[in-house]
Amino acid sequence: MLHRSSSGNRLRGGPQMFQLSLDGKRLYVTNSLFSAWDRQFYSEMLENGSHMLQIDVDTEKGGLTINNNFFVDFGLEPDGPSLAHEMRYPGGDCPSDIWI
């Protein structure tokens, strides 16, 4: 099933990996689990790549909103479509990115 975000980007597959920012105000979501499973359940993702979204968390009033200014399309990679599973950022913005 294909859906579009309010910014018009095509959303493929379903949410798989979630990373909450250290301040709890951003939730990063990728949509690839394992290539073998993606191949079986989301074959279009193999052809078009996966994506990463940012969901803004309202820590004051509650609620979640897709940030339409943040959309990483891994289908546009120079060497062809890629599948993004778990994302980690050097220096970290998420609890799992902090290594002591």
38 found inside a domain:
yes
Domain that holds residue 43: 3-78
Could you give the residue ranges of the DSSP H alpha helices within the chain? 35-41, 43-48
For residue range 11-39, list pLDDT tens digits in order.
888 888 888 888 889 998 988 888 888 88
91 found inside a domain:
no
The contacts of residue 95 (CB under 8 Å, 6+ apart) are 20, 22
94 found inside a domain:
no
Residue 99, pLDDT > 70, answer no
DSSP state of 9: P
The whole-model pTM stands at 0.78
19 found inside a domain:
yes
Total number of domains in the chain = 1
